[in-house]
Amino acid sequence: MSQLDAVLKRIDADLEASLDRLFALLRIQSVSTDPAYKDSCRAAAEFVAADLNSIGFAAEVRATAGHPIVVGKSGNGKANGKPRVLFYGHYDVQPVDPLTEWAHPPFEPRMETLPDGRKIIIARGACDDKGQAMTFVEACRAYRAVTGGLPLPITMMIEGEEECGSNHLFGFVKDNAAELKADLALVCDTSMWDSATPMVTTSLRGLVYEEVRLTCADRDLHSGLFGGAAQNPLRVLSKILAAMHDDNGRVTIPGFYEGVPELPTEVKADLKGLNLTAETFLGQVGLKAPAGEKDRMLIEQISTRPTCDVNGILGGYTGEGAKTVIAGQASAKISFRLVGDQDPMKIRATFRKYVQECLPADAKATFGEFGGSPALSVAYDNPALGKARAALTQEWGTKAVAVGSGGSIPIVGDFKDVLGMDTLLVGFGLDDDRVHSPNEKYDLKSFHKGTRSWARILAALAG
């Protein structure tokens, strides 16, 4: 029996015990956004650190101005000369409200069997990210049990503020760059393509988030007296927002597409092969027709193409009934998802210039800035990507796909910028996991085969 086979066997044999450990972690109410759970967050950090210490990491709970960060380092041991990986996960969870929609208490994890036979773990954090992070920890544990060590040196960094902005993580990474630096980052906080098809997330879109506040008159006006003559900020705002897209769904802001790469032909063919239909993807939320760039496939629109979205808009009278007012102010929140080499600073500046140039007489604009991060991607020919895909394909019996994600994970940018390393995103979440919602779940299969997948990936990366 190969070493890897022995590790996989150990994972199978230890499944019950690994579930007990996961459930113990799930019972800790580590809701990071609510100060009332501060002690629980610390308890979760201490639980994780103790667990890591028990499997040979030198792990500590490190204080920050917010919730602590757990850092654990394996010795080099016999893995000398192998690349070091940094694993990132988070022990904090989303709030549970509305509590009344939970079938069972969110911090009392339980196993259930669905009508289709799938066994699921139900609890807040079952998937995001306690269940996912523990697949990696359990893979390490099995390696340690079987071989007395790890196939390659590993640094663990498990934070407690992912669900409330990771506010103290960025400074922490900068302050501890020398210690945290590795050859590759691994993250387990993403999904499978579907329940049969494993996936490596090869890119994350960047984000520029802006708030525009328009002011016209210095007070709200009566539309009977001033209607027709006074500049109306709601009308100005509508014009600006409406003009941001042309009839083909392309963003009109000058220079917006600078740095947007065309996909290699074979990658485009791979994406096409996934055959993502509007019925499947949009149908689940009551929609039918892709609303993005008309000359792009749906899968491109949501993963490899940049977007501009209006996220919020407010102005004038919005209560019940009618009020004949011309507002003095209006505001909108607008975000851009970036890909390739689009420059967040440049996009922000160009957007603001665009708005200023749209303003008619009597309209003034001010701006608020809420985050900006560039897109990130693993090169399609990165050897680690190939190794991870092969390992996943072997475990699941279905070819692992490599797809870009539409979302943004800002810390991955810091891994690149501050620590100079790529990140491999592998996760086992499913679309029906109800992440951030009541009755969050994680498939037992995701947990079990996820653990086995990490064992295979670690072996592959060490090989």
Q: Within 137-166, which residues bind a second copy (CB under 8 A)?
A: none
Q: How far is CA 407 from CA 129, 184, 324, in A?
A: 16, 21, 40
In this complex, which beta carbon is closest to a second copy, that of residue 90 or of residue 305? 305
Distance from the Cα of residue 290 to its chain's centroid: 22
In this complex, which beta carbon is closest to a second copy, that of residue 106 or of residue 290? 290
In this complex, which beta carbon is closest to a second copy, that of residue 261 or of residue 420? 261
Q: Which residue type sits at 455?
A: A
In this complex, which beta carbon is closest to a second copy, that of residue 310 or of residue 390? 310
Nearest CA among 422, 426, 420 for reference residue 388 = 426
The minimum distance between CB 257 and a second copy, in angstroms, equals 13
Quick one: CA dihedral 146, 147, 152, 154, positive or negative? positive
State yes or no: residue 245 binds a second copy (CB under 8 A).
yes
Kindly indicate which of the ranges 150-158, 176-184, 232-240, 415-423 contains the residues binding a second copy, using the contact rule CB under 8 A.
Answer: 232-240
**Which positions from 42 through 61 interact with a second copy, judged by CB under 8 A?**
none
The minimum distance between CB 21 and a second copy, in angstroms, equals 30
The minimum distance between CB 82 and a second copy, in angstroms, equals 34
**Cα–Cα distance, 96 to 82 (Å, whole number):** 42
State yes or no: residue 347 binds a second copy (CB under 8 A).
no
Nearest CA among 138, 162, 172, 146 for reference residue 61 = 172
State yes or no: residue 331 binds a second copy (CB under 8 A).
yes
Q: Decide if 204 contacts 375 (C-beta within 8 A).
A: yes
The secondary structure element, H or E, covering residue 333 is strand 329-338
In this complex, which beta carbon is closest to a second copy, that of residue 113 or of residue 284? 284
Four-CA torsion 209, 215, 219, 222, nearest 10 degrees: -100
The minimum distance between CB 32 and a second copy, in angstroms, equals 16
State yes or no: residue 190 binds a second copy (CB under 8 A).
no
The minimum distance between CB 438 and a second copy, in angstroms, equals 14
In this complex, which beta carbon is closest to a second copy, that of residue 145 or of residue 359? 359
**Cα–Cα distance, 163 to 409 (Å, whole number):** 11
- CA angle, 375 as apex, 440 and 252 as ends, to 5°? 110
Four-CA torsion 447, 448, 449, 451, nearest 10 degrees: 80
- Cβ neighbourhood burial of 386 (10 Å; 0-12, 13-18, 19+): middle
Q: How many residues bind a second copy (CB under 8 A)?
A: 80
**Which positions from 349 through 388 interact with a second copy, judged by CB under 8 A?**
360-362, 370-371
**Which positions from 275 through 304 interact with a second copy, judged by CB under 8 A?**
278, 281-282, 285-293, 298, 301-302
State yes or no: residue 272 binds a second copy (CB under 8 A).
no
- Single residue of 15, 164, 217, 263 touching a second copy by CB under 8 A: 217
In this complex, which beta carbon is closest to a second copy, that of residue 197 or of residue 393? 197
- Single residue of 164, 263, 267, 314 touching a second copy by CB under 8 A: 314
Residue spans of beta strands (DSSP E) within 339-412: 364-373, 376-377, 401-405
In this complex, which beta carbon is closest to a second copy, that of residue 11 or of residue 251? 251
What does the block give as tokens for 238?
């509508």
The minimum distance between CB 336 and a second copy, in angstroms, equals 9
**Which positions from 387 through 446 interact with a second copy, judged by CB under 8 A?**
405-408
Q: Helix crossing, 38-54 with 15-26: angle to 10°?
A: 160
**Which positions from 60 through 89 interact with a second copy, judged by CB under 8 A?**
none
Q: Decide if 399 contacts 177 (C-beta within 8 A).
A: no
State yes or no: residue 322 binds a second copy (CB under 8 A).
yes
State yes or no: residue 218 binds a second copy (CB under 8 A).
yes
